[in-house]
Amino acid sequence: MYRLPTAHGFENHDSGSLILFANMLNKVPVRILIIDDDALSRELLQLLLSHEGYEVETAESGEAALEITRRHQAPDAVLADLQMPGVRGADLAHELRKACGHSSRLIAISASPSTPSELEGYDALLLKPFPAQALATILAGNTSPCLNQPIRQSVTVLDQTVYDKLAGSMQPERVNQLYAFCLADTKKRAATMREAAVQGDDAAYRREAHAIKGGTGMIGAIELQTIASTMENRGITTDYVATLDEFLVACDRVERMLLANKAEPTTA
């Protein structure tokens, strides 16, 4: 256990905190491993965290992440999505701790509040979408708070702050492609939800809604995120057709806003 200086004196921290603290002082890039089965979430997190100066590697499953940690030096921090097929949750945290030791911060990430049993073994929880400062606070050694707050309820169609941040961190063509990819993926998942509802497959219906909630939240599509959250919580209902139709109308609203905000391609 070590004592690190703070604005209020000294706080106790373990050796993992000391390593991260030294890395920040020496401006050594903090190495982060992102584990998420959703390709859009992985890409967005890698983009945003790389822009903040982190060295980022990604894995599409818990099994793939464990293979990476066994072949390479342990990362400074692991961000692991809680809702994935295969090894996940507390089981993944246990295996990661064995592979990485206690020098790595294990941070659960999720689009939904989680139970204590799911979080067992993790140092903290970040609810997607989360600000970069929240991650920085945890990496600095403040592991006590779990940022497990309900997704904000809002009728905002598109969070302009999120859009502006993405537009400021990549080429205009890439911004347009990113949003187009997300909306196409969202509509495809909505179609899968409709099929699941017809077949009475409530688990598949909720699973797709959860994935939509995470992806749309990462790009600031607040209205879509809110509707998807409701669909996930309620599951298949008698008015699912109207709900999915409402969701597609909300997709059209996002597209109109994106058209108004559309980033202009760079010219030579």
Task: List the domains of the chain with CATH numbers.
Answer: 2-139 (3.40.50.2300), 160-261 (1.20.120)
- How far apart are alpha carbons 46 and 53 in whole angstroms? 11
What Å distances lie between residue 217 and 14, 71, 156, 162, 164, CA to CA?
Answer: 33, 33, 12, 10, 15
What pLDDT is attached to residue 2?
34
What pLDDT is attached to residue 11?
40
DSSP-derived letter for residue 233 is H
Q: End-to-end distance of the chain based on CA atoms, in angstroms?
A: 55
**Predicted confidence (pLDDT) per residue in 139-188, tens digit:** 876 544 444 433 333 357 888 888 888 888 878 888 888 899 889 999 99
- How far apart are alpha carbons 43 and 30 in whole angstroms? 18
* Segments in the chain below pLDDT 50: 1-19, 21-22, 24-27, 143-154, 266-268
- List b or e across 92-116, with b for residues whose CB sees 16 or more CB atoms inside 10 angstroms: bbebbeebbeebbbbbbbbbbebee
